[in-house]
Amino acid sequence: MNSQLAQPAVEAGPAQIQIGTRDFQRVRRALFFGGFSTFALLYCVQPLMPLFSHEFHLSPSQSSWSLSVSTAALALCLLFASAVSDAVGRKPLMCFALFGSALMTVLCAFAQNYAQLLVCRALLGIVLAGLPAVAMAYLSEEIEPKSLGYAMGLYIGGSAFGGMTGRVVASILSDHLSWRMALLIVGVAGLAAAAEFLRSLPASRNFSKRALSFVAMPAAMRKHLSDEGLPWFFLIGFLLMGCFVSLYNYISYRLLSPEFGLSQSAVGAISALYLIGIFSSVWSGKMADKFGRRRVLWALIAVMLCGLLLTLAHGLILVIAGIALFTFGFFGGHSITSSWVGRRARPPQALASALYLFAYYLGSSLIGSCSGLIWKMDGWNGVVMVLAVLLTAAVAISLRLSRLALLQVQPA
Query: How many CB atoms sit inside 10 A of residue 317's CB?
Result: 8
| Confidence bin at 292 (pLDDT 50/70/90) | low
Q: What is the mean pLDDT of residues 254-277?
A: 79
The helix/strand/coil state of 353 is helix
Beta bridge partners of 17: 143
Q: Considering the domain delimited by 23-204+226-404, tell me its CATH architecture.
A: Up-down Bundle (1.20)
**Which secondary-structure segment (H or E) carries 365?**
helix 349-404
- How many H helices and E strands in the chain? 16, 0
Count the alpha carbons within 13 Å of 212 in the hemisphere toward its beta carbon. 7
pLDDT at 262 over 90: no
pLDDT at 4 over 50: no
Q: What is the pLDDT of residue 103?
A: 94
Contact 141, 207 (CB under 8 A): yes
pLDDT at 68 over 80: yes
Cα-based distances in Å from 241 to 9, 278, 348: 24, 16, 24
Q: How far apart are CA 152 and CA 281, in angstroms?
A: 8
Q: What is the mean pLDDT of residues 91-118?
A: 92
Domain parsing of the chain, residue ranges: 23-204+226-404
Q: What is the pLDDT of residue 12?
A: 43
Give the type of residue at 201.
Answer: L
pLDDT at 331 over 80: yes
pLDDT at 13 over 70: no
Q: How far apart are CA 192 and CA 173, in angstroms?
A: 19
Q: What is the mean pLDDT of residues 14-28?
A: 74
Mean pLDDT of the chain: 81
| Per-residue pLDDT tens digits for 183-224 | 999 999 999 999 999 988 887 777 666 766 666 677 777 877
Q: What is the pLDDT of residue 211?
A: 65
Query: How many CB atoms sit inside 10 A of residue 226's CB?
Result: 9
Count the alpha carbons within 13 Å of 194 in the hemisphere toward its beta carbon. 24
Cα-based distances in Å from 35 to 28, 98, 165, 257, 324: 10, 10, 12, 32, 20
Prediction pTM value:
0.71
